[in-house]
Chains A and B, each alone.
Chain A
Amino acid sequence: METVIATERLNKKFGEGDLQINALREVDLTIQRGEFTAIVGPSGSGKTTLLNILCGLDLPTSGEIRVSGKPLSSMNGTELSRFRRNHIGLVFQAYNLIPVLTVLENIEYVMLLQGISPRERKDRVRDFLGRIGLEGKEKRFPSELSGGQQQRVAIARAMVSEPDLILADEPTANLDSETGSQLLDMMRRFNREQKMTFIFSTHDPMIMERATRLITLTDGKIVQDERRE
Chain B
Amino acid sequence: MFWKLAWRNLWRNRTRTLLSSFVIAFGLSALVFVDGLMEGMTVNMVRNATDTFLGHAQLHRQGFRDELDVKRTIADLDQRIASLEQHPDLERWSKRVLSQGMLASSAGAEPVLVIGVDPKRERDLSKFDEGIRDGNYLESASGNDMLVGSKLAEKLELQLGDRIVLTGIDADTQEMVQELFRLGGIFHMGTREMDEAMVLAPLQTLQKMLLLEEGVHEVAFRFSNLDRDGFPQTPVMLPVDDRKNKLQLWSELMPALNMMKEWSGVSMSIISIILFFIIGLGITNTLLMGLYERMFELGVIKSLGTTPWQATRLMFYEAACLGLVSVLFGILLSILFTWIFATAGIDYTGIEFSGVTFQEKIYPALRWERLVQYPFWTFGFTMVASLYPSWKLFRMMPVEALRKRKF
Contacts and interface: CB of A to CB of B under 8 A. Distances in A.
B8 A109 contact: no
Nearest to B294: A99
Given A81-B306, A82-B307, A57 B406 contact: no
A113 B398 contact: no
A109 B402 contact: no
A52 B304 contact: no
Contacts of B398: 57
A94 B407 CA distance: 8
Contacts of A114: 305
B297 interface: yes
B349 interface: no
Interface string B301-323: 11111111110000000000000
A33 B8 CA distance: 39
Nearest to A53: B399
Interface in B1-36: 1, 4-5, 8-9, 12
B236 interface: no
A78 B308 contact: yes
Interface in A81-131: 81-82, 84-86, 88, 90, 92-94, 96, 98-101, 105, 108-110, 112-114
A98 B8 CA distance: 11
A64 B73 CA distance: 99
A94 B406 contact: yes
Contacts of A82: 305, 307
B310 A93 contact: no
A6 interface: no
B309 A78 contact: yes
B26 to A, nearest CB: 27
Nearest to B8: A100
B228 interface: no
A93 B307 CA distance: 23
Contact of B305 (A58, A92, A99, A110): A110
B243 interface: no
A55 B305 CA distance: 10
A86 B307 CA distance: 12
A98 B294 CA distance: 10
Nearest to B398: A57
B300 to A, nearest CB: 5
A105 B1 contact: yes
B312 to A, nearest CB: 11
B305 A86 contact: yes
A118 B82 CA distance: 78
A84 B306 CA distance: 9
A99 B5 CA distance: 10
Contacts of A84: 303-305
Interface in B259-281: none
Nearest to A51: B407
B4 A105 contact: yes
Contact of A98 (B5, B305, B310): B5
Contacts of A78: 307-309
Nearest to A81: B307
B305 A96 contact: no
A112 B1 CA distance: 8
B305 A52 contact: no
B213 to A, nearest CB: 89
A17 interface: no
B1 A77 contact: no
B1 A109 contact: yes
Given A78-B309, A113-B310, A169-B407, A55 B8 contact: no
A77 B300 contact: no
A113 B297 contact: no
Interface in A18-77: 48, 51-52, 55, 57-58, 77
Given A82-B305, A84-B303, A101 B5 contact: yes
Given A48-B407, A96-B300, 20 more contacts: A52-B407, A57-B398, A58-B399, A78-B309, A81-B307, A84-B305, A86-B305, A88-B305, A92-B300, A94-B406, A96-B296, A99-B297, A100-B12, A101-B8, A105-B4, A108-B1, A110-B304, A112-B1, A113-B305, A114-B305
13 contacts: A51-B407, A52-B407, A82-B305, A84-B305, A85-B306, A92-B300, A98-B300, A101-B5, A105-B1, A108-B1, A112-B1, A113-B306, A169-B407
> Which 5 residue pairs spanning A and B have beta carbons closest together?
A85-B305, A100-B8, A81-B307, A57-B399, A58-B399
